[in-house]
Structure 1
Amino acid sequence: MTGFVAPTVERFRDATAELRELSAPYAKERLIFQPPIESAEQVRRLERACQTVFEGLDAVLRDICDGDVLRMAKLCRATPPELRFLTRQPYQNWSTVARPDVISSGGRTVVIEINGDSPAGLFGLHDIITRAQTAFLPPEANLARPAVAMHGLLSGLTKSFGEFGGMVAICYWRHEQAAGPVDWQYELFARELRRHGIASVHCALEDLELSDDGVRHEGREVSVIYRYFESPEPGADDEFAVLDTLFRIAESGKVGLFTGYRAEVLASKAALAVLSGATGIAPSLRARLAEHVPWTRIIESRRTIYAGREVDLLPWAEREKDRLIVKPVRGHAGKGVTVGREVSAEVWAEVLATGVRGGAGDHPYIVQELFEPDPLPVAFTDERANVTSTVTPSVNGVFIVENTAVAVLRRYAVNNTGTININPFSGYAPSPVWVAS
């Protein structure tokens, strides 16, 4: 990490002007002004790990489930609300848009989360931080090239829908607004689309005007709905009614939906358990999956195989807590994640018991082998130009569009808790990965 100039108060203020407009957290602190620079081959290794996982998902659907999406959904423990809408829209694969979390650990490249759905995007965050970092790069420098994540996303939109004349509406459920201020990332994403010439707005799905003629927002045509909303919980009849209408319009071709529930359900944490234990696919693919997919199981009373020997899952997991991590299948942003070595035996036993009972909406939990991310150097600054340099674990968010890595956003653990659950709630510093020239 050389060639970037030292931060000053004035340079920091200039670099973070866009972030301040959005009240983004990195407008005051944790701004990485010296981005990591990796070789093209290292980025390719991250891409290959993701592609192997998606190849595995295709093989499970084809070879184990005979092409039946609903059969695969049941393997992934889909709930009735998810099954209700799984097949009711135009086809989109799980690798249309995804953002797997990938770590490097002792020479292995391991996919710890598939994140095969629209909310995993964060394309705009990647690009706005890239622009901020460029302010610390001298004009004559030719050290590396930053990716533009939005270029990849826009190519995916064009491939799915062709040229369209209406807006992109970034949509979520109205109850998200009632729970608190709408995430600044929605507005960031809308701004980034507009920056690239795509009219865009973010709003509650219920605020759209849905009719047989198409979809409008405040009288303006909506061509594509970018889905940030998830399947409704049981009993949310008003939300189910909105989705019924929306899918009918999408089926008629009057609006596009990007992306679909197929990825949300079938490229979830439960899918890692399916891939980890799959026996009905080609041995060569199984070997590659074993290299990139951590040992993962749904938490339930059963016997299973670990490292070639049969174990009774629940008592074994209770004993082996220091090598394991528990996650809710439909959790996000690190919510509900427990790292075994970071809690007491009593807390761990209760976490496993909760996993057996299931979580919100009857979603299960997984238990997964813990991989230690390789520590990497990082330097970040705050609005007073105070620089912190450290060596810390990190995780790579790999932006996948049409099965190709278009950018990488690395998250560094810079919290005081020491947890390796690197997420917004524990605190982290994000940086785009620049590729060496």
Structure 2
Amino acid sequence: MRIHDQWRNLPASSRARFLDDRVAAAHRWPAHELPGWRQPWQPLRPLILTEDAAAGLGRLATRLIHLAVDACLRRARTAGELYDLLRYPRELPLLDRGRPLDHAELTACARPDILLQDGTPRLLELNISTAIAGTRAVDVLASAYRDLWRGPELGPPPSVIDTRSAHLAATLPPAADGPPRLLIPTWTAGGRLPGLEGEAALRAYLRPSADSAVRAGLRVIQASLSELRTDHTETLHAGPDRVDAMLCPFLSDEVSDDDGGLAAVRRAALAGTLRLFQPDATSLLSAKAVLAWIHEDIGLLDATDRLLVREHLPHTTHLSRHHPADTLAGRLSTAARDRERLVLKPSCGHGGQGVVFGRDLGPSEWLRVLRAELEQDDVVLQELVPADILRMPFLSPGRSVPHDEDVAFVLSPYLIGGRTCGFLVRHDAPAAAPAGLKPINMANSAFCNTVMLRRPSPAAPAER
């Protein structure tokens, strides 16, 4: 599979008109209204993929995620066993340790991070959780781009929020008195993005999710975690309303000021009276040690899956101070030998924290950093992927005329209930030197964008 940006394959006149309209709309670009998404540099166009490429990328990522679950099931049968095996460094308040690991549940919602290397997708992280960022932003961006393009060639991917609502409506069991009641919770400290610290702001931010769920046929409750309680049957209530299911737009270990609400949610979930989308067990699948397990098990896979892993999953090795001494020594020796081709990552980290490129350090410093990280937590060493570079027009602060920059990018499709919907794109900071050789995320001044889909050209009429 090879994937390339299709911008240059669109009509030149349409591209020029689109960029003119995009520059004119810069001062009122809707993404700037979203908390945490205002950015000084504005990408002026989306990444363009063909519909076939987007669908193929979704199928590829879905298969790799299923192989990740298989690797976990070879080592653990329950969420608690997997938590212990990973030596997960954070407490997960809503984790049901005795819950069996289930393929359908663990793969229901993901947003893997993918680099393109000479057009070949290389999957770096799984990001399996409903707390992953960008859910609303990609829908807003795709809608805004759709409104600017004046032709039939481009269309947006399916909405992430609407795809999630449709999945919930199709999979949540009905209540005795009608459709299930879905709680979309808020809490005093708000979300993780700047501007969502207050509960009112978070509720407004989540309102499109609530409206979408209502359109899908669910009964929706928006309430504060502090309002939640359980009755004598351990059924969850928000004020007078019984709750059948809860959307989890947060990492449960990051919630504070809940006034006992999370404890009530936990009681109901453990009693089986409440469905969580998704439960805390899904976050465990995002540990990068799981990618290393896929490589460790490659001899157990069939020929098709072996080829898939070797081509699309950068080689990843798990290191832990708890490994046998000879195993750890061998892996450290390999790390020293291959330093310039490796990236060090915390096994259970996120947001680019703790990521170190071997080529940035000398041999002795590399081993010192590696051993220091091992004293804290498990780590992985992942094959360095040279990212493809994209020519992208930007508007930057103080400039009213677009200018092109060569930037690397991460492509992240949303996979919900087996469907590929919106895409989050993060561009390397323009003028980064060299491009693509540091983590591409918001913490490193990356800029967010999305994907539009190029539709097939209408067939030419047949000659008589």
Common topology (TM > 0.5)? yes
Residue 76 of structure 1 aligns with an amino acid whose one-letter code is L
Partner of 2:45: 34
- Aligned to 1:120, what secondary structure does the other structure show? coil
Gap regions ≥5 residues in structure 2: 1-6, 215-219, 456-464
Are positions 1:287 and 2:303 aligned together?
Answer: no
Residue 34 of structure 1 aligns with an amino acid whose one-letter code is R
Q: CA 1:202–1:241 in 2, change beyond 3 Å: closer, same or farther?
A: closer
- Distance between the aligned counterparts of 1:196 and 1:179, measured in 2? 22
Deviation at 1:367, TM superposition (A): 1.4
Gap regions ≥5 residues in structure 1: none
Are positions 1:225 and 2:243 aligned together?
Answer: no
Residues 170, 186 of structure 1: 8 Å contact kept: no
Are positions 1:52 and 2:73 aligned together?
Answer: no
Deviations 1:56-99 (CA, angstroms, capped at 9, x unpaired)? 1343255x348555554444344694596333599652210010
- Distance between the aligned counterparts of 1:178 and 1:410, measured in 2? 19
- Aligned to 1:25, what secondary structure does the other structure show? coil
Partner of 1:144: 154
Q: How does 1:159-308 map to 2 (within 5 A)?
A: 159-162=170-173, 164=179, 166-170=181-185, 182=196, 190-196=206-212, 198=214, 199=220, 201=222, 205=225, 207-212=226-231, 214-217=235-238, 222-230=243-251, 232=253, 243-279=262-298, 281-284=300-303, 285-300=305-320
- Distance between the aligned counterparts of 2:325 and 2:419, measured in 1? 34
- Aligned to 1:37, what secondary structure does the other structure show? strand
Are positions 1:129 and 2:148 aligned together?
Answer: no
Partner of 2:384: 370
- Distance between the aligned counterparts of 2:426 and 2:365, measured in 1? 27
- Distance between the aligned counterparts of 1:170 and 1:350, measured in 2? 44
Q: CA 1:76–1:275 in 2, change beyond 3 Å: closer, same or farther?
A: farther
Residues 123, 153 of structure 1: 8 Å contact kept: no
- Distance between the aligned counterparts of 1:303 and 1:6, measured in 2? 61
- Aligned to 2:353, what secondary structure does the other structure show? coil
Residue 407 of structure 2 aligns with an amino acid whose one-letter code is T
Are positions 1:157 and 2:176 aligned together?
Answer: no
- Aligned to 1:103, what secondary structure does the other structure show? strand
Deviation at 1:124, TM superposition (A): 0.7
Partner of 2:3: none
Deviation at 1:376, TM superposition (A): 1.7
Instruction: Give 1 or 2 for the bigger CA radius of gyration.
Output: 2
> CA RMSD for the aligned pairs?
3.8
Partner of 1:349: 367
- Distance between the aligned counterparts of 1:366 and 1:130, measured in 2? 35
- Distance between the aligned counterparts of 2:108 and 2:371, measured in 1? 36
Deviation at 1:431, TM superposition (A): 2.0
Q: CA 1:391–1:312 in 2, change beyond 3 Å: closer, same or farther?
A: same
- Distance between the aligned counterparts of 1:182 and 1:345, measured in 2? 43
Deviations 1:169-211 (CA, angstroms, capped at 9, x unpaired)? 2457x677799863699557503214425456485x4x24221
- Aligned to 2:141, what secondary structure does the other structure show? helix
- Distance between the aligned counterparts of 2:352 and 2:97, measured in 1? 25
**Farther off after superposition, 345-354 or 98-107:** 345-354
Residue 278 of structure 2 aligns with an amino acid whose one-letter code is T
Partner of 2:356: 338
- Distance between the aligned counterparts of 1:314 and 1:14, measured in 2? 52
Q: CA 1:366–1:34 in 2, change beyond 3 Å: closer, same or farther?
A: same
- Distance between the aligned counterparts of 1:286 and 1:183, measured in 2? 46
- Aligned to 2:149, what secondary structure does the other structure show? coil
- Distance between the aligned counterparts of 2:282 and 2:416, measured in 1? 13
TM (norm. structure 2) is 0.77
Residues 424, 451 of structure 2: 8 Å contact kept: yes
- Distance between the aligned counterparts of 2:239 and 2:259, measured in 1? 22
Residues 56, 289 of structure 1: 8 Å contact kept: no
Residues 406, 430 of structure 2: 8 Å contact kept: no
Residue 43 of structure 1 aligns with an amino acid whose one-letter code is A
Deviations 1:197-231 (CA, angstroms, capped at 9, x unpaired)? 5456485x4x2422126444566655432224446
TM (norm. structure 1) is 0.81
Partner of 1:392: 407
Deviations 1:217-269 (CA, angstroms, capped at 9, x unpaired)? 56665543222444649xx9999976553232124454331101221113421
- Distance between the aligned counterparts of 1:53 and 1:178, measured in 2? 28
- Distance between the aligned counterparts of 2:270 and 2:169, measured in 1? 19
Are positions 1:43 and 2:54 aligned together?
Answer: yes
Q: Which has the higher contact order (CA 8 A, sep 6+)?
A: 1
Residues 141, 450 of structure 2: 8 Å contact kept: yes
